[in-house]
Amino acid sequence: MTNENLKLEDLLEKRKQYDEGSINNIAIIGAGLMGLGIAQTIAASGLEVLLIEKDPLHLDKAKTSLSSLIDREIRRWSVTQSEKKAILSRIKWETTFNKISGCDLVIEAVDEDFELKKNIFQKIDIIADKDTIFISNTSTLSLTKIAESTTRPDKVIGMHFLNPVPKIPLVELVKCLHTSNETVEKTKKFATRIGKTSVEVYEYPGFVTTRAIVPLLNEAMYILLEGVATAKDIDTAMRLGYNFQMGPLELADSMGLDEVLAWMETLWKTLGEPRYRACPILRKLVRERKLGKKTGEGFYKYDANGNIIAEV
């Protein structure tokens, strides 16, 4: 069999795999750091994306941010100019939910605020097609309660992406009490299609990744607060000692310190275990709006490309 025939067979097999019950049209609600990362990842896989923000001001800011994020990757030789052009051409921008009626999948990626998420799901439940799957990117909130605010709780599932979304090959698929097996299977195929390895988890505060990483970040912050070592030395010890790609304090900066604090507060409230009680130094940095890489300062100071230039 020739190489041409093999390539044709591969293409036909892929088409067969995605034609039946496939997910082709995706809407994302929320164009913050996570929403932009999810949109970039989906568009880079060749799918069309509708990205929704609450008003024109936030939408324009999101467009500028996404262009800058991709430019940063171009400077690192991980993306080309032509790939950037292709990615941006597949993303449509809106400020209303009106156009989600033709979408196979809607991903909510707004702040970790239960009432906000519930309100969004109730609104899109009225507009979306009856077979549309609803996904929440929540990392700590009750997916079952969110699902019960809709008329389609069997079609609600969580996809917990990790930041930076285009770089991290993992996604947690979170099944709530009502999620159907069909919804799980369709979402797993979608995850594979956009280049992610999925792990199935049952609904529980923090799931796997957030619940496991938060105590590590918190303990590193306490070590810094107690003056045991500098931020740089703490991170160096963990990188070299345990083969981490980055130390816990830089990792917290890259996640966004406001997000990390929100996770800790939810886990502390729901589980009541001391290891989730946020370190005072984290609260102080968030109060001062020093939120990590996205604001240029957190446990470290960063340049425009996200490189560390100094310890705080």
Residue 48: CATH number of its domain: 3.40.50.720
What dihedral angle (degrees, nearest 10) is formed by the CA atoms of 58, 301, 280, 251? 80
Residue 115, token pair as written in the block = 């009432």
The tokens 């770089």 sit on which residue? 167
Residues 75 and 110 grouped into a single domain: yes
User: Which of 134, 67, 137, 62 is CA-nearest to residue 97?
Assistant: 134
Side-chain half-sphere CA neighbours of 308 within 13 A: 16
In a shared domain, residues 253 and 116: no
**Domain enclosing residue 34, as ranges:** 3-202
Same domain, 151 and 263: no
What pLDDT sits at residue 34?
92
Its pTM stands at 0.83
Of 202, 218, 239, which residue is a domain's last?
A: 202
Q: Are residues 170 and 288 in the same domain?
A: no
**136 and 285 both lie in a single domain:** no
Pairing of strands 300-302, 308-311: antiparallel
Last residue of a domain, one of 144, 172, 202: 202
Please tell me whether residues 109 and 154 are part of one structural domain.
yes
Q: Do 27 and 146 have their domain in common?
A: yes
Q: How many domains does the chain have?
A: 2
Q: DSSP H helical segments within the chain, as ranges?
A: 3-19, 33-44, 56-75, 81-89, 114-127, 143-147, 181-193, 209-225, 231-242, 248-255, 257-271, 280-287
Residues 213 and 198 in one domain: no
Model pLDDT, residue 141: 84
C-alpha closest to that of 104 among 50, 154, 52: 50
Q: At what angle do helices 257-271 and 209-225 cross, to 10 degrees?
A: 110
* pLDDT score of 253: 96
**Nearest CA among 33, 35, 66, 64 for reference residue 50:** 35
Shared domain for 55 and 132, answered yes or no, is yes
Domain of residue 304, CATH code: 1.10.1040.10
Domain boundary among 154, 179, 202: 202
The answer on 164 and 86 residing in a single domain is yes
pLDDT at residue 18 in the model: 46
Same domain, 238 and 124: no
**Domain identity same for 139 and 10:** yes
* Per-residue pLDDT of the chain in tens (312 residues, 90 and over written 9): 444 454 455 544 554 444 445 789 999 999 998 999 999 999 999 999 999 999 999 999 999 999 998 998 898 888 899 999 999 999 999 999 999 998 999 999 998 889 999 999 999 999 999 999 999 998 888 899 999 999 999 999 999 999 889 999 999 999 999 999 999 999 999 999 999 999 999 888 888 999 999 999 999 999 999 999 999 999 999 999 999 999 999 999 999 999 999 999 989 999 999 999 999 999 999 999 999 998 999 999 999 878 899 888
Tell me if the bond preceding 164 is cis, omega within 30° of 0: yes
